[in-house]
């Protein structure tokens, strides 16, 4: 990954954008794709589509731009904040963390309180309080002081740190799914550089973490001929993964091409052929029930849009320390671009009955 692409990735990762509050992170993405797209459009909820014009066939390379987080639910008389979830935030990793409240007047620093080990009843250590029972300390001494800083409904995210680990691997909050919209943007740029003879859309959707809502909107309006949805997928190669949950997907093993459920068999085969021709290592992933990604919304839109989920291996999903391998991410962008370049070879995108 060259310097410009790395800078784009770090800008995406360092810009907060919980579901329903994606404006700032969507702007980062739009600024980048505007440098090479023929057109960029944004709908009323903030879904962004960048287009490079080509032939009549249309291919969408997508990711979701939102992240999980929290929201200020209430303020106590003593000036502490009560929280609610935005998306699937994990109660087991939130206490004892630095957070930022994104208020209308600017960021407010806080910490999620955790009773000191010296003061806790050890019998309670196995019981983790729900997010609704946890609280944020911003240093305020009473409700009035806290209300001068922020409002109920303000979004809250973990305070960001991007850390490079050994072998170039990266850890950060919001890999899910800023890496997906990075791949979609780069897939578009690389497809254009290779002279794809189809019209290619790169899409950054909103509100995936609260029900795939943005993809439902975009799928209806855009109605592409095929969708490649890039999202993180569980790398189950760490020691704490339960054996019955193992998928065989490993960090550094390349993109994970999902099979089953939403994943159209013609697109799956096209991606496997593309990977072979372009010498890209890929992994296969079984998703017999659902992918849990925007592909689940796209494939049922407008009577059915052929779709497939392309996974970016990710350890420790929905924590502040998600880990990816940038080589996997680069390979996803190459795979998406390669598919777009060869898309007409696989038309029509329909099962042969």
Interhelix angle 23-33/175-193, rounded to 10 degrees, is: 20
Tell me, yes or no, if 144 is annotated catalytic: no
* Separation between Cα atoms, residue 51 and residue 237, nearest integer Å: 37
Work out the angle at residue 326's Cα, subtended by the Cα atoms of residues 324 and 330, and round it to the nearest 5 degrees: 125
Q: How far apart are CA 228 and CA 250, in angstroms?
A: 21
Among the listed residues 22, 67, 186, 208, the single catalytic one is 208
Q: Read off the DSSP letter of residue 160.
A: P
Residue 72's H or E segment, with its range, is strand 69-75
Place of tokens 């991410």: 329
Burial 209-241 (b: 16+ CB within 10 A, else e): bbebbbbbbbbeebebbbbbbbbbbbbbbeeee
Whether the ω angle into residue 177 lies within 30 degrees of 0, i.e. cis, is yes
The catalytic residues are 208
């Amino acid at each position: 990954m060259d310097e410009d692409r790395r800078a784009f990735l770090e800008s995406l990762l360092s810009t907060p954008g919980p579901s329903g509050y994606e404006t700032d992170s969507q702007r980062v993405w739009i600024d980048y794709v505007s440098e090479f797209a023929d057109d960029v459009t944004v709908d009323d909820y903030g879904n962004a589509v960048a287009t490079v014009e080509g032939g009549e066939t249309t291919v969408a390379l997508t990711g979701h731009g939102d992240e999980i987080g929290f929201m200020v639910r209430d303020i106590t008389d003593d000036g502490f904040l009560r929280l609610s979830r935005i998306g699937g935030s994990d109660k087991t990793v939130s206490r004892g963390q630095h957070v930022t409240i994104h208020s209308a007047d600017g960021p407010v620093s806080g910490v999620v309180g955790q009773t000191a080990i010296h003061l806790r009843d050890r019998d309670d250590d196995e019981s983790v309080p729900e997010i609704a029972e946890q609280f944020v300390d911003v240093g305020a001494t009473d409700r009035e002081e806290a209300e001068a800083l922020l409002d109920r409904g303000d979004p809250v995210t973990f305070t960001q740190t991007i850390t490079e680990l050994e072998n170039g691997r990266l850890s950060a909050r919001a890999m899910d799914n800023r890496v997906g919209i990075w791949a979609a943007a780069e897939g578009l740029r690389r497809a254009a550089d290779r002279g794809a003879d189809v019209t290619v859309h790169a899409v950054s959707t909103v509100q995936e973490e609260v029900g795939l809502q943005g993809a439902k909107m975009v799928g209806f309006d855009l109605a592409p001929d095929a969708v490649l949805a890039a999202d993180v997928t569980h790398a189950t190669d760490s020691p704490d993964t339960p054996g019955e949950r193992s998928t065989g997907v490993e960090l550094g093993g390349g993109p994970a091409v999902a099979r089953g459920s939403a994943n159209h068999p013609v697109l799956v085969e096209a991606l496997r052929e593309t990977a072979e021709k372009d010498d890209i290592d890929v992994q296969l992933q079984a998703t017999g029930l659902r992918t849990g990604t925007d592909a689940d919304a796209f494939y049922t839109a407008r009577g059915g849009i052929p779709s497939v989920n392309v996974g970016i291996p990710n350890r420790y999903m929905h924590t502040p320390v998600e880990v990816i391998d940038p080589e996997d991410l680069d390979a996803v962008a190459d795979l998406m671009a390669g598919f777009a370049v060869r898309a007409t070879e696989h038309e029509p995108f329909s099962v042969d009955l």
